[in-house]
Amino acid sequence: MNNSQAAGEAYEGGSGSVLVLLHGLGGTWHIWKPVLPLLEKHHRIIAPTLPGHPGGPAIPDGVTPTVDVLADLLIADLKARGIEHAHVAGNSLGGWLSLELARRGFATSVTALSPAGGWATQDDYKAIAKSFRIVFMILPILIFLTALFLRFAWVRRTLNKQGMERGDRVSPAESSRAMKSMRDTTMLPALLVSMGRRGGIAPFKVNPPLVRIAWCELDKVIPFARYGKPLQTVVQGSESLFLPGCGHVPMYDDPELVTSVILATTARVDAAAAGSIAA
What are the chain's domains? Answer: 10-274 (3.40.50.1820)
CA distance 49 to 124: 27
C-alpha to C-alpha distance for 47 and 27, rounded to whole angstroms: 12
pTM summary value: 0.93
- What is the dihedral sign for C-alpha 240, 93, 161, 151? positive
Helices (H), 104-228: 122-146, 153-159, 172-184, 188-198
From first to last of the 279 residues of the chain, give the pLDDT tens digit: 334 456 678 999 999 999 999 999 999 999 999 999 999 999 999 999 999 999 999 999 999 999 999 999 999 999 999 999 999 999 999 999 999 999 999 999 999 999 999 998 999 999 999 999 999 999 999 999 998 899 999 999 999 999 999 999 999 999 999 999 999 999 999 999 999 999 999 999 997 779 999 999 999 999 999 999 889 889 999 999 999 999 999 999 999 999 999 999 999 998 887 666 655
107-113 and 210-216 beta bridge pairing: parallel
